[in-house]
Amino acid sequence: MTRPIFIPLAVLGALLGVAAAGSSSALVTAPRPTIDVPATANREVAVLAGGCFWGVEGVYRHVKGVIDVSSGYSGGSASTARYEATSSGTTGHAESVRVVFDPTKVSYGEILQIYFSVVADPTLKDRQGPDSGTQYRSALFPTTPAQAKVARAYIAQLSSARVFNRPIVTTIEPFKGFYPAEREHQNFMARNPSYPYIVINDRPKVEALRRQFPANWRG
């Protein structure tokens, strides 16, 4: 399978000395302490979608406190949870990642701060980078009522502060289940570090994580 080669807006902007149109020129502010919730266990699951799952998975594999990450599909039914079907954009699925994390080491709020800072441009509707369609939408699938509360409050905080130059269109959707993707999509970035799509579109996200979140970085 191939994907088109594309220079992300953030990278192009850096080369031209300007900020990307929809993104903040600096680290996205963290959730207010009143938004995040204290840990009640040592294992929690977050499900997020932000374009091609290769890059999203690749970023969270380098976050301290993350126990496991897998690529898959969320938003549709089990019967259509396949790459070919999801790629049609008619299944309701988004290419998603399931992040299992230790909330005593990294909170859900921090997971979202990383998401909005380096994973996805939340101002783009039904597309990220070179990929377009509902399957590449920016979406959060809270797995608990507490996560849904944090997600809503944090998006409201970022919107009120006008952190981005355009409105945030990231959706908060009911969690209907997560369906792992085919084997060839799992840990794709680590297994294919020289793949052109990875080099151009996804490696800069990992570098941004390392640079902007040194306290959360795991090499």
Please answer whether residues 64 and 218 qualify as being in contact, where contact means their C-beta atoms are separated by less than 8 angstroms.
yes
Which residue in 103, 25, 28 sits closest to 63, CA to CA?
103
Q: Is 115 a catalytic residue?
A: no
Please answer whether residues 131 and 52 qualify as being in contact, where contact means their C-beta atoms are separated by less than 8 angstroms.
yes
Element (H, E) at 191: helix 188-191
* DSSP E strand boundaries for 36-166: 44-50, 66-74, 94-101, 127-128, 131-132, 138-140
Which residue in 35, 36, 155, 34 sits closest to 104, CA to CA?
36
Please answer whether residues 142 and 148 qualify as being in contact, where contact means their C-beta atoms are separated by less than 8 angstroms.
yes
- Catalytic residue, chosen from 46, 49, 52, 155, is 52
Q: What positions carry a catalytic annotation? A: 52
